[in-house]
């Protein structure tokens, strides 16, 4: 086991803005899943700085179509920031990323190919659940008849039919989460980004979400899944990426990562939790030569000061829109 030190744990208010996620410009309907060999998600050197603080640092990743990519990392590692760059909600400071071959700087080209469920579901409290989904369907240019059918099916699937006429203001956290998830999937996007999709859900609803993710990939859709629930990743992910202090410090099929930790510790019976603990202990600032499970030696720069950027340096998310 390594001697890496404990990681810094920085938090911030990451409320998303509904109109940025469901923008009328992002017209989309019946996206045809691209069956070419083009990656669904491809990023090279993806970097984000807030002021002088680098929170995502040169991330390279490739996600093949029809697979689940499990995105792990400690609180404050940069997962949400990475997802916001990949979903065009914030502009990279450096590096490039493509979704289904379209650059994330090409907002219209990308947004039609993706669905995103952020940590805070983008819903209007004053609408009913049904109205909210109709609104999303209109933004996504889904024909009314088709939208009605899809909405009815999803509401039924998530046990929301009887509550669909109630204002979202009166919904529980889990009900809001379900509406947010349906909104992300309604236009059947080729690539879906899910940030803690089972958050607040009861076991039955959480199981439905996991089943749905399996069905999405069966259908050729790609799922980029950020969660702290390792059993979900173990069950679903074809590839796991672990982000730590803004760097992708481990990546591979779960079984391979586990086998590597087994080998390193000369132990058996390691789990994904052991992988997580092994690669996220210590700090990037002090471990410029920590072992890299992807076979690279870290080229981590000197210590960031670890401070949260000042207000003036905060990205308000308006960039890249
Ligand atoms: N707009 C912003 N301005 C300044 N700093 C920010 C901003 N957004 C994020 N950060 C900082 O970037 C770092 C990464 O945050 P991010 O939300 O991406 O982490 P995370 O891995 O998603 O964390 P969690 O698991 O807790 O959700 C944190 O230190 C956070 O304080």
Tens digits of per-residue pLDDT, 216-263?
Answer: 999 999 999 999 999 999 999 999 999 999 999 999 999 999 988 888
- Per the CB < 8 A criterion, the answer to whether 160 and 188 are in contact is no
- Alpha carbon distance 10, 8 (integer Å): 6
Query: Which of 57-61, 102-106, 155-159, 297-301 is least confident?
Result: 297-301
Question: If you take atom 12 of ligand 1, which residue's CA is the nearest one?
Answer: 55
How many helices, marked H, and strands, marked E, lie in the chain? 10, 10
- Alpha carbon distance 312, 289 (integer Å): 34
- Alpha carbon distance 49, 93 (integer Å): 6
Ligand 1 nearest-atom number relative to CA 51:
4
- Please give the average per-residue pLDDT across 88-111, as a whole number: 94
Q: How far is the CA of 13 from the centre of ligand 1 (A)?
A: 8
Domains and CATH numbers, the chain: 31-121+191-313 (3.40.50.300)
- Residue-level pLDDT at 187: 95
- Per the CB < 8 A criterion, the answer to whether 29 and 217 are in contact is no
| CA 300 distance to own-chain centroid | 24
Task: Give φ, ψ of 319 to 5 degrees.
Answer: -75, 150
Q: How far is the CA of 50 from the centre of ligand 1 (A)?
A: 10
Dihedral of the alpha carbons of 50, 54, 56, 57, in degrees to the nearest 10: 150
Ligand 1 nearest-atom number relative to CA 315:
1
- Residue-level pLDDT at 101: 93
Q: Which two tokens stand for residue 104?
A: 């994330």
For the stretch 102-130, pLDDT in tens is: 999 998 889 889 999 998 999 999 999 99
Residue in 47, 52, 78 to alter for ligand 1 test, most ligand atoms within 8 A of Cβ? 78
Task: Give φ, ψ of 114 to 5 degrees.
Answer: -135, 155
| CA 167 distance to own-chain centroid | 27
Query: Which of 16-20, 121-125, 168-172, 182-186 is least confident?
Result: 16-20
- Residue-level pLDDT at 18: 39
Residue in 48, 50, 57 to alter for ligand 1 test, most ligand atoms within 8 A of Cβ? 50
ipTM score assigned to the predicted complex: 0.98
- Residue-level pLDDT at 309: 28
Q: How far is the CA of 14 from the centre of ligand 1 (A)?
A: 7
Query: Structure pTM?
Result: 0.80
Q: How far is the CA of 56 from the centre of ligand 1 (A)?
A: 9
- Residue-level pLDDT at 109: 87
CB-based pocket (< 6 A), ligand 1: 10-12, 14, 50, 55, 73, 75-81, 308-309, 314-315
Q: What strands, in cross-sheet order, belong to the sheet with 191-195?
A: 114-117, 191-195, 222-226, 68-72, 239-244, 247-252
- Alpha carbon distance 98, 118 (integer Å): 19
CB neighbours (10 Å) of residue 164?
18
Query: Which of 171-175, 207-211, 300-304 is least confident?
Result: 300-304
Mean pLDDT taken over the chain = 80
HSE-CB for 100 with a 13 A CA cutoff = 25
233 exposure class (CB count in 10 Å sphere: 0-12, 13-18, 19+): buried
- Region label for 57, one of left (φ > 0), alpha (ψ between -120 and 50) or beta (otherwise): beta
- Alpha carbon distance 50, 149 (integer Å): 43
If we measure between CA atoms, which residue out of 273, 248, 269, 294 comes closest to residue 82?
Answer: 248
For the stretch 27-85, pLDDT in tens is: 333 344 444 578 999 999 999 999 999 999 999 999 999 999 999 999 999 999 999 99
Residue 315 clears pLDDT 80, i.e. is over it:
no
Largest CA distance in the chain: 59
Q: How far is the CA of 163 from the centre of ligand 1 (A)?
A: 34
Q: Which two tokens stand for residue 238?
A: 């074809």
Residue 28 DSSP SS3: coil
């Amino acid at each position: 086991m390594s001697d890496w030190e404990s990681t810094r744990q920085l938090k911030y208010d990451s409320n998303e803005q509904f109109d940025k996620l469901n923008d009328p410009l992002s017209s989309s309907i019946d996206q045809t899943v691209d069956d070419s060999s083009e990656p669904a998600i491809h990023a090279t050197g993806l970097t984000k700085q807030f002021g002088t603080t680098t929170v995502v640092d040169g991330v390279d990743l490739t996600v093949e179509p029809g697979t689940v990519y499990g995105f792990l990392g400690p609180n404050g590692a940069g997962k949400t920031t990475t997802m916001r760059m990949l979903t065009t909600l914030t502009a990279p400071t450096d590096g490039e990323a493509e979704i289904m071959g379209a650059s994330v700087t090409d907002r219209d080209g990308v947004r039609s190919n993706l669905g995103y469920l952020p940590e805070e579901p983008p819903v209007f409290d004053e609408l009913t659940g049904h109205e909210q989904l109709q609104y999303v369907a209109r933004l996504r240019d889904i024909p009314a008849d088709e939208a009605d059918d899809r909405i009815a099916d999803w509401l039924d699937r998530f046990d929301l039919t009887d509550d669909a006429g109630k204002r979202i203001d009166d919904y529980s956290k889990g009900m809001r989460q379900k509406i947010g998830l349906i909104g992300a999937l309604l236009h059947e996007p080729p690539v879906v980004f899910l940030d803690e999709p089972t958050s607040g859900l009861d076991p039955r609803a959480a199981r439905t979400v996991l089943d749905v993710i399996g069905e999405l990939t069966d259908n050729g859709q790609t799922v980029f899944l950020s969660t702290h629930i390792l059993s979900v990743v173990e069950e679903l992910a074809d590839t796991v990426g672990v982000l730590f202090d803004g760097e992708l410090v481990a990546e591979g099929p779960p079984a391979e990562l586990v086998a590597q930790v087994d080998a390193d510790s000369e132990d058996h019976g390691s789990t994904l939790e052991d992988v997580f603990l092994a690669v996220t202990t210590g700090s990037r600032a002090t471990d410029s030569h920590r072992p890299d499970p992807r076979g690279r030696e870290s080229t981590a720069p000197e210590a960031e000061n670890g401070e949260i950027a000042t207000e003036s340096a905060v990205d308000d998310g308006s960039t890249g829109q």
